[in-house]
Structure 1
Amino acid sequence: MTASRGETIAGRTFLAALMVFTVLPFISIFTTALQPSGSLPTGLEWPSDPQWGNFAEAFDVANMTTLLKSSSLIVITVVPIALVISTMAGFAIGLLEIPGARWLLLLFVLGLTLPFEGIITPLYFLADDLGILNTRLAISLPLIGLFMPFSVFWMRAHFATMPAEITEAAEVDGAGTWSVFWRIHVPLARPPIASLAILLSIWTWNQFLLALVLVEDPEQRTMAGALGAFQGHYATDIPLLCAGTILILLPTLIVFLLFQRHIIAALLQGSVKG
């Protein structure tokens, strides 16, 4: 069905307005970061003397080098483990149709409704009992569990649409369940796995609440988690705070710009396959 001219204009107008409302806050943060340190923000006005040195000062003050290493270690820990578990679970629920698969899927869907704020207190006491409080494991282990509902639902959507003939042909040739999974279906699932890896990496990198509550040492936190400590010391120095915010968002922005086609294609694929 072809959209009418009025529908096309209305759609483009809505997208333009949405883009403006999305981009304006980032422009405001950027122009504020260029204001003299200690000054009050002037909105979207470009400063007469841009203070580019605010970014270097924010980088040094927030100890960004250490935080980059800490965030990378957390991402390297969380993403591969979450991918392996969710891929195997999605294969079992979506393709093997194990006993109780529908109930398991319903359980994971219900897990999507759990807010981080509602379980942060139990997680704090659990991490304390396990002796991992104030360590990177206090962030990594809960994130793996919290990512499971979405990740399993994502991978199940892919495996549920795979033709059964592929599995049957492999079994006729003598392949076992593990061989069918590892040698046939995992290679076929590389696009959704790669897209899920990108999304999980971005979400882990930007994790703020768990890092702020479960880890007191700023050097053990994620980049976003360090923003709380940075803000606590420089709450009145708004330009320096904005400069630190931009530095924290920059890696995520670069990843999204590089892989935006893969992310959008995967989201559209998931909406069709779900």
Structure 2
Amino acid sequence: MIVGRGETWSGRVLLVLLMAATLMPFASLFVTGLHPRGSYPSGLDWPADPHWGNFVTAFQVARMGELVKSSTLIVLGVVPVSLLLATLAGFAIGHLRVAGRNVVFLTFVLGLTLPFEGIITPLYYQVRDMGLLNTRWAIILPLIGLFMPFAVFWMRAHFVNMPDELSESARMDGANLWQLFWRIHVPLAMPALSSLAILLFLWTWNQFLLAIVLVDDPLKRTMSGALGAFQGQWGTDMPLLCAGSLLILTPTLAIFLIFQRRFVTALLQGSLKG
């Protein structure tokens, strides 16, 4: 299919406009964060005397170091366990001839329609009865369960496209089921696993609702959840609030920019298979 020059340029212009619209909010946060504290700047008005110290002040008053530690602990509790469970379930449902696998898969698909907001009230009482309120476990355990439908669906989409001949050849060479899973299929599933890990990391790091409802101590929340407490304390100081917001967004942006090539490759691989 031959694409004309006009169509090529129109596509490039559209991409530039979309990129500008995407970057505009971050540019506004950055510029506002450089204004003097207590001021109310408008738009992208660059200050005559940029106050770079606002970012240092925001880092200190928000106790970003402790927030990074808390978010890291929550991510380490959610992502590895979710990947392991989803890989095991996806392999069983998508590749093995397990009885009732279609019913189990349908149950996970129905779980995709379950919004966080719809279960937050019963989840609060359940976590309270378990004695986990105001602990990081109040975020970790629910997130593992809530991520399972999508994670299993994602991994099942990979394993269902694996040829049966691959497993039959491994069995003929003497491989048992466990060896077949760990030595054959898991290495081949690394693109799907890596892209899923990036998604789970971003969703966990940016988790806001569960953090503010189930955990009272901001230092035990995710960084996004702690933003609510930071906003309540410094909501009238727009430059400091914007500087703190940008610092909270920086880790997720950095992770995505670093691993974007791997993430896009996995998505394209899945679309070609599907």
TM-score between both structures, scaled by the size of structure 1: 0.96
1:29 aligns with 2:46: no
Q: CA deviation digits over 1:163-217, x for unaligned, max 9?
A: 1111011112232211211121111112211221122112111111111111001
What is the distance in 2 between the residues matched to 1:61 and 1:38? 16
Where does residue 259 of structure 1 map in the other structure?
A: 259
Where does residue 103 of structure 1 map in the other structure?
A: 103
Gaps of 5+ in 2: none
Contact 1:154 1:270 survives alignment (8 Å) = no
Tell me how far 1:42 sits from its aligned partner. Answer: 1.9
1:70 aligns with 2:96: no
Amino acid at match of 2:208: F
What secondary structure sits across from 2:185 in the alignment? Answer: helix
1:173 aligns with 2:173: yes
Where does residue 12 of structure 2 map in the other structure?
A: 12
Where does residue 49 of structure 1 map in the other structure?
A: 49
After TM superposition, the structure 1 stretch with the greater mean CA deviation from structure 2, 57-66 or 188-197, is: 188-197
Amino acid at match of 1:81: V
Contact 2:33 2:239 survives alignment (8 Å) = yes
What is the distance in 1 between the residues matched to 2:109 and 2:214? 26
Tell me how far 1:234 sits from its aligned partner. Answer: 1.0
What is the distance in 2 between the residues matched to 1:141 and 1:160? 28
TM-score between both structures, scaled by the size of structure 2: 0.96
What is the distance in 2 between the residues matched to 1:165 and 1:91? 15
Where does residue 223 of structure 1 map in the other structure?
A: 223
What is the distance in 1 between the residues matched to 2:103 and 2:14? 40
Tell me how far 1:6 sits from its aligned partner. Answer: 3.8
What secondary structure sits across from 1:96 in the alignment? Answer: coil
What is the distance in 2 between the residues matched to 1:92 and 1:181? 10
Where does residue 245 of structure 1 map in the other structure?
A: 245
Where does residue 142 of structure 1 map in the other structure?
A: 142
Alignment identity in percent?
65
Where does residue 131 of structure 1 map in the other structure?
A: 131
What secondary structure sits across from 1:260 in the alignment? Answer: helix
1:204 aligns with 2:204: yes
What is the distance in 2 between the residues matched to 1:6 and 1:52? 44
Where does residue 160 of structure 2 map in the other structure?
A: 160
What is the distance in 2 between the residues matched to 1:35 and 1:25? 16
Amino acid at match of 1:160: V
Tell me how far 1:239 sits from its aligned partner. Answer: 0.8
What is the distance in 1 between the residues matched to 2:5 and 2:92? 47
Amino acid at match of 1:205: W
Contact 2:194 2:263 survives alignment (8 Å) = no
After TM superposition, the structure 1 stretch with the greater mean CA deviation from structure 2, 35-44 or 83-92, is: 35-44
What is the distance in 1 between the residues matched to 2:76 and 2:88? 19
After TM superposition, the structure 1 stretch with the greater mean CA deviation from structure 2, 82-91 or 253-262, is: 253-262
What is the distance in 2 between the residues matched to 1:104 and 1:12? 45
What is the distance in 2 between the residues matched to 1:11 and 1:224? 35
Name the count of aligned residue pairs. Answer: 274
Gaps of 5+ in 1: none
Q: CA RMSD in A?
A: 1.4
